[in-house]
Structure 1
């Protein structure tokens, strides 16, 4: 049986300048069901799931037929049936659009009532990085190349809005919920691009992913409650959890991500309040959690009643044919708190992030956000809205992913050529870093010191381990370095190890 996956191009009627994100439809050409019925059912399912929102512009019948590789009359027949059932409607000289779906609530993946306890906030009244210097090769943790971001477009738009705002005297203090049109187009982008079903009352915008994680920990955790996380893992997240008095539990991980079978063993012996994970690209190992473990994790969450924080920082940097949808896009009972950010799409200074969760939890989180500070950068928010609406960010993402995919292959080749005798590694499916595991015991402190003397900086990986066991790995980011720097750095590592 042949399966054809195509992308339905979607452009909202409310935001007509928002560029096209794609949702896969599947057709089977085995003859068991007419093709027009398959098209009708696939579009209906996407409408009910909320991924084709009300007033979304549908592709023309010729365009869709070309993408599906079927006769145009087949698409026309499917559209006619959807129009007759009220799932689509037409506007004269504008096209076909999605009608409001009355029964979409049963597909909601983020509920209004959180199934876990949390602290309610109400409003009543790290290793020092070396300075940048000429000739320094710095293998970071996996940051993007700021030269690939749409910085010229952002600064140009910012300047235009600044001048217009001054002329119209619209400078004023804003609330912490961010500029409403930006909120709407950002949420629309998350829903369409990542398969989420988030409404404005289930999203809180924050200044950066770290701030979002800190706020979630403040609202969610109490002293002595247990947080489970992969080992090795993210030391910054551990410090945040410990700052509110939480305890940590180490979960094994491998090339398939978090070992949920080991997590289940821990759950049988202790009460775990929260599981922290980045399933798309686990830090620091870059492993992607398998479909089976994702389903198992959600099942365990329902059974044992713990919350899940899903850190989705590298979603755009996926190199396979089809990225995994986030845990928050899968059917669940409201356990998943989703954190993402635009910081990697608009480096190096842009810090806008978002936290998605159940509506009552988000209300408390927004109250805490207001306590922290009320004034945002309204000009930057206006500029970002324009970049999303005009498709500038989407274009920059496509361009940068192609660039990083080629660079990833190049790094794989030089690692194999220079370091194969010393390390083992997997080519990452996502993200901007490689995780290298040494085949033999090695004095990492001495290695890093000698590299620094030769003008090469790599972060000490010791802090990514729960215990005092000497680390046997390195994490090297490749996004921000050019090919010459990458080869020179890897070759220097090999020379020192060989000596």
Structure 2
């Protein structure tokens, strides 16, 4: 076996004296790494402690500790009057020590050594930019969240009640579910108990669980002609057949739904009736009743996504379809605390109890740990009325922003776009009066410090439109964004 002094130890053992990890453990771990990767094969003689300490420029006692640790872990053996050797399985032929100079033990493999399935369907559609002004699809302004207050409540509960909460039961905090069920009963007309609730992390997790349980390959799922792309991705991954339904100023076209049901078996209809995504139009009361009747008549599931119910301004919000469902055909999903700080938000599913049994099984697999303390915080915010006070304050600000953003669009862009001021939500749907290459327009805006992600652009031979979120902008930021928007547009005409 090669002489220990011929091995360039310093080329693959790097000591970081600023690290929290002790120097002797750094050296130990890197030697083990070299052994595992075959750079120091069985039988390799290690240098004496004095020589290695001089080579690595560390104290001799450090190397003594390294060798003791390697011996304790079973990587080396000490043969009296011979030296210290790497332990391993005997090889039929001696292994030549690899070229350390052209190798880097710190590099993790760039590719897997096995085959695996890939999916273009799940490619990340979201983009990021360093532009100062960024449009989104309707996200709350984190600057309005009372993070200090939320943190105080969390800290208080952690000190006062953590020992009383007990272990997570894979179905969330019972205290939170009890308070959330009462909150949904009062605010959304849902006559439910805590047994009808499943607490999730997000809308996407909710829909994934629903899809895993209720959808099979080649099932037919109906969605709006324009719909939420993340949800469509989940459906496509399930292997269902997606058929689209047109949208008008009253929401989804119910007659089209009936015609499809008369021709084939439909398993599910997904819709966002409160404010259709992305157009923000509300489903009319008459069509709501018609859809419930169709679901009962043809036996398809209605998956109702109420993603922005908390944001309504002009009048009382329209109650969910689930509040009028007497046949058990509607599954209701939503979010709670969307206007709170990101870590304080959660999702939920409302469904009949027998379906909840299966949903809890899936949640136990993908999110067994959960966050029972955070859920307890949210439950206390409901019981103490804190959530209502916070929503009332933030809604006033978002309504003012909606009105100001609408005014800016009217003053600066009315010759180019048509839009209706929405009754709620945090975004405006703008349709262009004539075709514009939206991707090119987006790139030109980015050059002027305004980023418009491709997920907000909707363009085909019949439609040129954008979904423009305003909730994250204050008045000054809105004005600067529209100024850049208008200036870029003028330069392209």
TM-score (normalised: structure 2): 0.71
Give the conservation status (yes or no) of the 8 Å contact 1:173–1:375.
no
In 1, Cα distance between equivalents of 2:238 and 2:269: 15
Shift of residue 199, structure 1, vs aligned partner: 1.6
Is the aligned partner of 1:454 residue 2:452? no
Give the match for residue 182 of structure 1: 176
Is the aligned partner of 1:488 residue 2:484? no
Indicate which of 461, 470, 485 corresponds to 1:478. 470
Give the match for residue 413 of structure 2: 419
Q: What is the DSSP-based 3-state SS (H/G/I as helix, E as strand, rest coil) of the residue aligned with 1:332?
A: coil
In 1, Cα distance between equivalents of 2:265 and 2:448: 48
Is the aligned partner of 1:156 residue 2:148? no
Give the match for residue 140 of structure 2: 144
In 2, Cα distance between equivalents of 1:142 and 1:402: 16
- Structure 2 stretches lacking a partner, 5+ long: 1-123
Give the match for residue 335 of structure 2: 341
Give the match for residue 232 of structure 2: 238
Cα distance per residue 1:254-280 (max 9 Å; x no partner): 121111122222222222110000100
After superposition, residues 183-202 of structure 1 pair within 5 angstroms as: 183-202=177-196
After superposition, residues 211-290 of structure 1 pair within 5 angstroms as: 211-290=205-284
Give the match for residue 309 of structure 2: 315
Comparing 182-191 and 144-153, the one that deviates more:
144-153
Give the conservation status (yes or no) of the 8 Å contact 2:217–2:239.
yes
Shift of residue 461, structure 1, vs aligned partner: 4.2
Give the conservation status (yes or no) of the 8 Å contact 1:181–1:385.
yes
Give the match for residue 94 of structure 1: none
Change in Cα spacing, 1:451 to 1:217, as seen in structure 2 (3 Å) is: same
Shift of residue 253, structure 1, vs aligned partner: 0.2
Give the conservation status (yes or no) of the 8 Å contact 1:175–1:376.
no
Q: What is the DSSP-based 3-state SS (H/G/I as helix, E as strand, rest coil) of the residue aligned with 1:472?
A: strand
- Structure 1 stretches lacking a partner, 5+ long: 1-125
Give the match for residue 426 of structure 2: 432
Higher relative contact order (CA 8 A, sep 6+): 1
In 1, Cα distance between equivalents of 2:413 and 2:394: 27
Indicate which of 115, 127, 130 corresponds to 1:129. 127
Give the match for residue 329 of structure 1: 323
Cα distance per residue 1:47-95 (max 9 Å; x no partner): xxxxxxxxxxxxxxxxxxxxxxxxxxxxxxxxxxxxxxxxxxxxxxxxx
Cα distance per residue 1:281-333 (max 9 Å; x no partner): 11000111111111111111111110001111111211222210100111431
Q: What is the DSSP-based 3-state SS (H/G/I as helix, E as strand, rest coil) of the residue aligned with 1:340?
A: strand
In 2, Cα distance between equivalents of 1:210 and 1:341: 11
Change in Cα spacing, 1:472 to 1:243, as seen in structure 2 (3 Å) is: same
Q: What is the DSSP-based 3-state SS (H/G/I as helix, E as strand, rest coil) of the residue aligned with 1:349?
A: helix
Change in Cα spacing, 1:462 to 1:150, as seen in structure 2 (3 Å) is: closer
Q: What is the DSSP-based 3-state SS (H/G/I as helix, E as strand, rest coil) of the residue aligned with 2:222?
A: strand
In 2, Cα distance between equivalents of 1:302 and 1:358: 15
Give the match for residue 370 of structure 2: 376
Give the conservation status (yes or no) of the 8 Å contact 1:461–1:474.
no
In 1, Cα distance between equivalents of 2:195 and 2:458: 35
- Quote the RMSD (CA, aligned, Å): 1.9
Change in Cα spacing, 1:395 to 1:337, as seen in structure 2 (3 Å) is: same
Comparing 416-425 and 365-374, the one that deviates more:
365-374
Shift of residue 221, structure 1, vs aligned partner: 0.3
